[in-house]
Amino acid sequence: MPRAATAGPRLDDYVAGVRSGDRAMLARAITLVESTKPEHAAHAQALLQALLPATRRALRLGVTGVPGVGKSTTIDQLGMNLIAAGHRLAVLAVDPTSKRTGGSILGDKTRMSRLAQEPNAFIRPSPTSGTLGGVTRKTRETMALAEAAGFDVIIVETVGVGQSEIAVADMVDFFLVLLLAGGGDDLQGIKKGIIEIADMIAINKADGDNVTRAERAAAEYRAALQILTPRSATWSPPVLTISGRENIGLDALWAKILEHRDKTKASGEFDLRRQRQAVEWMRDMLSDRVMERLKSTPKVAERLPALEAEVRAGKLLPTLAVDEVLSLAGIGSN
């Protein structure tokens, strides 16, 4: 079998290494699929295709919340609980706003210090190149590799601002929203539209003097959920109070996640959600490839900056600009 375009493991070495759970080979495989070099693309896709039968076996969780809500502390403690129960856990940290750092692996491991030392845990930033498309593309591929390596629980942590929550909610089985009581946070989820995509809400830092405030906030969210139509016919999002720092309520939180999995699998909703996500992945990739192809067309590359400038200045209708780009690419328009 041929080697990659650059010096490195053969495709079958990658496949064998990842499937055996070799952490070093998993890290190299992730680096390969993250690469933006054209010569790596075909090799990366061949790797993912070869590993496809070993994927889709993990439970995929998305976790979001405003900065300071305690996401990393909660994930660190929940992860330790899961490892103690015999699970293998992969954590992918997504920050589409970080163009400079891409989400520092040093920072992620510092924030989840105990998990970082566990042989049955794997922490990795999911670089996004500052785009939501990067979230969906790179994170999905990294999830597939982690699943093939035998990690049976995968947590995708978002930065908790912008539209990254929606992107992550559309690629996981269960979407958890962490919130705080007080500090102007109350009912912030309704304003951001987070509640509509949440499978569960957990009010964090419900310990010490904050327990009463946390319970009050939970009651407000439960009332708010009563007037919203749940996105699932078989699941109504619960609202719990937890303390990631003190390991309070995390067993109940995990039990609810498993209950959601069991109910949605019994109804067929779990598989339908996975199937829809696979098709969305294909569509996202198609959009990316079409844009890349268009931009690489010499006539389009030459004309595109001027078109963008005219649209930006309000001198050209975006629709007409699109028509011209398609015409230059030889695609034509309706």
Q: Concatenate the DSSP letters of all residues of 126-147 into one string.
A: E--TTSHHHHHHHHHHHHHHHH
| pLDDT value, residue 108 | 54
Hey, how many other C-beta atoms are within 10 angstroms of the C-beta on 46?
16
Q: Could you tell me which residue, 103 or 188, shows the higher pLDDT?
A: 188
Hey, how many other C-beta atoms are within 10 angstroms of the C-beta on 90?
26
**d(C-alpha 166, C-alpha 160), whole Å:** 10
Strand 121-126, strand 153-158: pairing: unpaired
Residue 28 pLDDT grade (very low, low, confident, very high; cuts 50, 70, 90): very high
Q: What's the pTM value of the predicted model, to 2 decimals?
A: 0.84
What the block records as the tokens of 108 is 């992620």
Crossing angle for the helix pair 132-148 and 11-19, to the nearest 10 degrees: 70
Q: Which residue's structure tokens are 């995390």?
A: 250
Report the range out of 48-52, 131-135, 258-262 with the highest average pLDDT: 258-262
Residue 216 pLDDT grade (very low, low, confident, very high; cuts 50, 70, 90): very high
Instruction: Please give the sequence-ordered ranges of beta strands (E in DSSP) within 145-263, or none if there are none.
Output: 153-158, 174-179, 200-203, 239-241
Residue 109 pLDDT grade (very low, low, confident, very high; cuts 50, 70, 90): low
Element at 125 (helix H, strand E): strand 121-126
Report the range out of 12-21, 27-36, 132-141, 183-192 with the highest average pLDDT: 12-21
What is the Cα gyration radius of the chain?
22
| pLDDT value, residue 333 | 54
Fold of 55-266: Rossmann fold (3.40.50)
Average pLDDT over residues 127-142: 65
Which residues of the chain are in CATH 3.40.50.300 domains? 55-266
> Do you know the residue count of the chain?
334
Ramachandran assignment for 247, one of left (phi > 0), alpha (psi -120 to 50 degrees), beta (any other): left
CA distances from 94 to 84, 126, 159, 194, 212 (A): 25, 5, 6, 17, 32
Average pLDDT over residues 179-192: 60
Q: Could you tell me which residue, 51 or 5, shows the higher pLDDT?
A: 51
Query: How confident is the model over 37-81, as pLDDT tens digits?
Result: 878 888 898 999 999 998 888 999 999 888 889 999 999 999 999
Q: With contact defined as beta carbons under 8 Å apart, do 295 and 304 qualify? A: yes
| pLDDT value, residue 4 | 43
Residues near 217 by beta carbon (within 8 Å), at least 6 away in sequence: 179, 180, 181, 182, 185, 186, 203
Which residues of the chain are in CATH 1.20.5.170 domains? 1-53
What the block records as the tokens of 36 is 């933006």
Interior CA angle at 305 toward 303 and 311, to 5°? 105
Q: Which CATH architecture has domain 1-53?
A: Up-down Bundle (1.20)
Strand 59-65, strand 153-158: pairing: parallel
Q: Which residue's structure tokens are 């304003």?
A: 191
